Amino acid sequence: MKKQPIGFMDSGVGGLTVLKEAMRQLPNEDLIFIGDQARLPYGEKPAEIVKGFAWQMTNFLVRHEIKALVVACNTATAAALPDLQAQLAIPVIGVIAPGSQLASTVTKNQQVGVIATTGTIQSGAYSQQLKALVPEMTVNGLAVPDFVMMIEANQRHGAAVQQKVNQLLAPLKMSQIDTLILGCTHFPLLATAIQTAVGPNVTLVDPAKAAVADLVQVLSDRQVLADTQQAGRLQTFTTGQVSDFTPIARQWLGLPDLNAQQVTIQGEKNDGPN
C-alpha cells in the first residue's frame, strides 16, 4: 500500500492549490488529480447534486487504487465529506476543518471572514467549525462565485481583475476581521489581488497547507507513507477541455511539460462506492 497513489478531486483547477502543497510536503508520493471542469461551477448547484458528482470522481480515483482521498474542494467537502468518510475504507481528508483550525490560531480579535462559493457559505460549514473551536468567534461569510469563473478563465492579474476583486470584497471592508479564510481552493490563485483588496492588516488563510499536514499525519499513523527516495509520479485528469486545464496547471505547478488527460465520469456510480 505504501506506493499506492493519493487521490485529489475538485470541481476544476482550484484543487491544484492543494495538489501543489502535497507535492511540496510529499515529494515521493504518487499523486492523481481530477478536476470536473465539464460540470463547474459546483458552488451554485444543490448539495445533493454536488454529492453525486463527488462520488463519481471518488469512484474514478478508487479504480486507480488510491490509498487516501483528498476532497480538494470546499463545496464538495461541505456536501459529501461525511458520506465519503462513512462509506470508504481509506482515509478521506477535507479542507474545511483544517482551514478552520488554522484560522482559529491566527486571529487575534476572534473576527474571521470567509469567502467561498454560494454553496459553501449557505452550508454554514465554516461558521459551525469555527464556533465549535472558539464559541465567541464572529464569522463574516461572503459568497463570491465570480472568482471561480475568473480563475478558470485564467483571469488572475491586471487592473481590471483588481478592480473586480475590490468591488466584490467591498462588504468585508466594513467588518472588523483580522483573518480571512480563502474558503474555495480556487481562491489562492487570486491571493495577490485579494490581499490588496482587504489590506495588509488582514491575514489570509489558505486551508491547503493544513489539509495536507493532516494528510501526512494520517498516512504516518497508518504507516503507509511512501518509503522510496524516488520522486513521485503525477497524473492529472479533467472532464473538460485539456486546453483549458493544462495552461493553468503548468503555470501554477511549475511543470511546463505537464500533460493532462480528458476523461468522462458520468458513468460512475453517484450514490456510493462501486
Question: What pLDDT, in 10s, does the model give residues 228-257?
Answer: 889 999 999 999 999 999 999 999 999 999
Annotated binding site for substrate: 10-11, 42-43, 74-75, 185-186
Spatial contact of 242 and 261, defined as CB atoms under 8 Å apart: yes
**CA atoms within a 13 Å half-sphere pointing along the CA-CB vector of 57:** 35
pLDDT of 2 reads 80
Cα separation, 94 vs 81, in Å, equals 7
- Is 213 designated active site? no
For residues 10 and 38, the answer to whether their CB atoms sit within 8 Å is no
pLDDT of residue 74: 96
Catalytic residue, from 34, 184, 249, 260: name it.
184
Query: Binding site: which residues?
Result: 10-11, 42-43, 74-75, 185-186
- Phi and psi (nearest 5°) for 203? -90, 125
Our answer to whether residue 73 is catalytic in this structure is: yes
Beta strands in 56-132 (DSSP E): 68-71, 92-93, 111-116
Exactly one of 73, 148, 210, 224 is catalytic; which is it?
A: 73
All domains of the chain, ordered by start, with CATH?
6-94+209-262 (3.40.50.1860), 96-207 (3.40.50.1860)
The DSSP-derived string for 136-173 is: T-EEEEEE-THHHHHHHTT--SSHHHHHHHHHHTGGGG
Q: What is the pLDDT of residue 3?
A: 87
pLDDT < 50 regions, the chain:
none
Chain Cα centroid distance, residue 10: 7
